[in-house]
Structure 1
């Protein structure tokens, strides 16, 4: 029986079905319609919000209240470490004769609170310890005394005893035959003086935490302290002053290697007993030779260890060359200009003592048109509170700003109009928040 549908009809039906299926698949892969989008909305992220930064403005503020660093009470503790061997008679007399020149700038300055004391050289030999005549132990400050050698129950000079300064520093000499030192030590009595400064000890009250510490060696010899190096002494001084390199300095009134042997202690003279390297010791009578490995045999010997300490102690960012340091901090003990040179040391000590640094705590000063907006005033609390007082100039002989520390450094040679109880106020225009 013939089929109801022809082959042509079957093919036509197949094509129509395929077309419907393709259309359905295309619709399934096409983008969402408007109705579909409305049913599944896309959630947009909410932008973050921040609090508004306050506008910065510059305003003048003053560092002047309740801050002890603005007080001005310059202090200096000056310790002489003096050679009292027999060869020092002339040098000590020179010191006493010129003491007024040394102390003039310090004593006449009403602002400086000074302590001045003296310890003598030491000799660790058994001979010295058992035969020395004086009562003083190593590093002990000598009692102050008057011109008649009358001692008082106090171990250092202050403004109250300024008339006893020269006589106190005139400690006299101790000949070797009478128990005087032979191998002069300076480092050991200096360190002992620091060690004996505690509560109730013999040097109690002399050294003060905030004072400038000045050490002055007076000798025609070199240091003979066993097992103490110059660097060790420098480290001890640094520790003693709380790690503040700017709070201590070391000076020397010394001989020079090139000076004639007649001016030197025996230990620095070219003699077989002290410098056998300069002699042919195989001879019955030692004969001096040219020892090229030891320059001192030709040029003479000097206080090398003391010089090393002075160079190390006074080295700073502004002064790094050892020769320049020694030229500044050492004067000749046989100088024809002894008084003038001693006065220069006194003047330098005054400048170091009067220098001051004030750290700013309330802001960083702004710069306008190339000019730092900062002012330093000096006066009584009443004057400063009223916005008055002596205006300290910026620059040499005044103040400089140190941006690394945010501090004001006052030079030691400011010409202050001294007033009792005066202090500082620092005005600055700083960036502050509303």
Structure 2
């Protein structure tokens, strides 16, 4: 009889949770379970006939603290065709970082690694003091390298960040890369993170991981597919897909050859299928209309697989490196990263009640301990944009990344609720 009663209680709880507020319907919908005849069916006490006390989730739990972290890694092409693109990035880097830096909540790391070339020629001629996947040194305002591998919230300035991200180019005849690889240095950067390693301290366990690929070429890493590279990133973040995002500042297949690296041009050395090679001089056979960074586009789609259809992902996460509105594209990218970083999920220790008007009896506040105690804390509204929604499956509160916070040092969240109770 006790087992039957427990089952009935569970079914009753599911039925009540289905009546959540209209703002949260998308997250709160539950399948209807058809009740079977039982000897005794318990029911909820009418809210109007009882007085319920609000309880506050433990404010000391780390999940209620709010120290959003983001690690942003640029993987930049330093072949000699990238000079103007790097300069364009340096001129507009403040547009990219504006929303990230302006939000005082975000604890950011920003670093850069260069592309790689695994050919024997590159190994013999390359004289740069960097190994594959090494973070480049931060530069001061005069462009001189200092003994630091990445920027932090505490010490970054716009001008020195611009100089650092402008890593320069290395001409082919001076040992610069010809067959650009992006997956190999990215993989190496993730591996060089242990104690005493080159990139020690850059990647943090709880931080959002953002990768920005910047090139006019495509990836040429052998034995690594775009899907495998995306999986490596997700595995690095403990299997948490929502902790990873990849953006591309790339050429488009429709861009003129003059804007592309040689490997994407209609050129007999790189694309002999486009030419009649029978004569002394190769002749364009007219079969090729243009080449784009296919592998890198596939990588962006695979890494952001939960963000929509492939076309939607490409539209949101890839900007054209030849864009006439380069700064606006960077600003949009930076704002999107900010929203991702500020999104948060808080798990509740008890199921919340729904009142007789169908309203979920949960409230979310943000402020210092003093303001939370005095009732002066900021109240976060229950709504999809600029607020929070309840997830009954995880019994959690999802905070959107576009909430306008009244930032204060040492502030945290408080989640208050009236728990679900049953009549005895």
TM-score, with length taken from structure 2: 0.86
Distance change >3 Å, CA 183–CA 367, structure 1 → 2: farther
Looking at structure 2, the residues matched to 76 and 172 of structure 1 have their Cα atoms a distance apart, in angstroms, of: 25
Query: 1:121, 1:189 within 8 Å by CA — same for their partners in 2?
Result: yes
SS in 2 for 1:323: helix
Looking at structure 1, the residues matched to 81 and 118 of structure 2 have their Cα atoms a distance apart, in angstroms, of: 19
For 1:101-149, what per-residue CA distance to the aligned partner results, in whole angstroms no more than 9, with x for missing partners?
Answer: 1111111111110000000000001111121121000000011012322
Which residue in the other structure is 1:149 paired with?
A: 143
Does 1:303 pair with 2:303? no
Match of 2:362 among 344, 369, 374: 374
Does 1:104 pair with 2:95? no
CA shift for structure 1 position 273: 0.6
SS in 2 for 1:282: coil
Query: 2:352, 2:361 within 8 Å by CA — same for their partners in 1?
Result: no
Which residue in the other structure is 2:401 paired with?
A: 412
Structure 2 stretches of 5 or more lacking a match?
A: 7-39, 46-51
Looking at structure 2, the residues matched to 320 and 71 of structure 1 have their Cα atoms a distance apart, in angstroms, of: 30
For 1:356-400, what per-residue CA distance to the aligned partner results, in whole angstroms no more than 9, with x for missing partners?
Answer: 111111223425312211110001122223444110011111111
Which residue in the other structure is 1:207 paired with?
A: 203
Following superposition of structure 1 onto structure 2, how do residues 47-66 of structure 1 map, counting pairs within 5 Å?
59-66=53-60
TM-score, with length taken from structure 1: 0.84
Looking at structure 1, the residues matched to 59 and 343 of structure 2 have their Cα atoms a distance apart, in angstroms, of: 21
Looking at structure 2, the residues matched to 246 and 181 of structure 1 have their Cα atoms a distance apart, in angstroms, of: 33
Structure 1 window deviating more from structure 2 (180-189 vs 272-281): it is 272-281
Query: 1:257, 1:301 within 8 Å by CA — same for their partners in 2?
Result: yes
CA shift for structure 1 position 333: 0.5
Looking at structure 1, the residues matched to 170 and 232 of structure 2 have their Cα atoms a distance apart, in angstroms, of: 29
CA shift for structure 1 position 418: 0.5
Looking at structure 2, the residues matched to 432 and 64 of structure 1 have their Cα atoms a distance apart, in angstroms, of: 19
Which residue in the other structure is 1:236 paired with?
A: 232
CA shift for structure 1 position 156: 0.1
Query: 2:352, 2:360 within 8 Å by CA — same for their partners in 1?
Result: no
Match of 1:391 among 360, 376, 379: 379
SS in 1 for 2:398: strand
Looking at structure 2, the residues matched to 257 and 55 of structure 1 have their Cα atoms a distance apart, in angstroms, of: 64
Query: 1:377, 1:388 within 8 Å by CA — same for their partners in 2?
Result: no
Does 1:171 pair with 2:171? no
Which residue in the other structure is 1:83 paired with?
A: 77
CA shift for structure 1 position 54: 9.3
Query: 1:352, 1:412 within 8 Å by CA — same for their partners in 2?
Result: yes
Does 1:280 pair with 2:280? no
Looking at structure 1, the residues matched to 54 and 154 of structure 2 have their Cα atoms a distance apart, in angstroms, of: 43
Following superposition of structure 1 onto structure 2, how do residues 243-258 of structure 1 map, counting pairs within 5 Å?
243-258=239-254
CA shift for structure 1 position 64: 3.1
Structure 1 stretches of 5 or more lacking a match?
A: 1-49, 292-296
SS in 2 for 1:408: strand
Runs of 4+ with deviation above 4 angstroms? 50-59
Structure index of larger Rg: 1
Following superposition of structure 1 onto structure 2, how do residues 311-330 of structure 1 map, counting pairs within 5 Å?
311-316=301-306, 319-330=307-318
RMSD (CA atoms): 1.9
Which residue in the other structure is 1:428 paired with?
A: 417
Which residue in the other structure is 1:226 paired with?
A: 222
Which residue in the other structure is 1:136 paired with?
A: 130
Does 1:116 pair with 2:110? yes
CA shift for structure 1 position 179: 0.5
CA shift for structure 1 position 336: 0.6
Looking at structure 2, the residues matched to 54 and 371 of structure 1 have their Cα atoms a distance apart, in angstroms, of: 22
SS in 1 for 2:121: helix
CA shift for structure 1 position 402: 1.3
For 1:290-345, what per-residue CA distance to the aligned partner results, in whole angstroms no more than 9, with x for missing partners?
Answer: 44xxxxx12x00000000010111121xx331111101111111111001111110
Looking at structure 2, the residues matched to 99 and 231 of structure 1 have their Cα atoms a distance apart, in angstroms, of: 29
Looking at structure 1, the residues matched to 63 and 336 of structure 2 have their Cα atoms a distance apart, in angstroms, of: 23
SS in 1 for 2:56: strand
CA shift for structure 1 position 241: 0.7
CA shift for structure 1 position 59: 4.6
SS in 2 for 1:345: helix
Which residue in the other structure is 2:49 paired with?
A: none
Looking at structure 1, the residues matched to 267 and 241 of structure 2 have their Cα atoms a distance apart, in angstroms, of: 39
SS in 2 for 1:409: strand
Following superposition of structure 1 onto structure 2, how do residues 20-39 of structure 1 map, counting pairs within 5 Å?
none
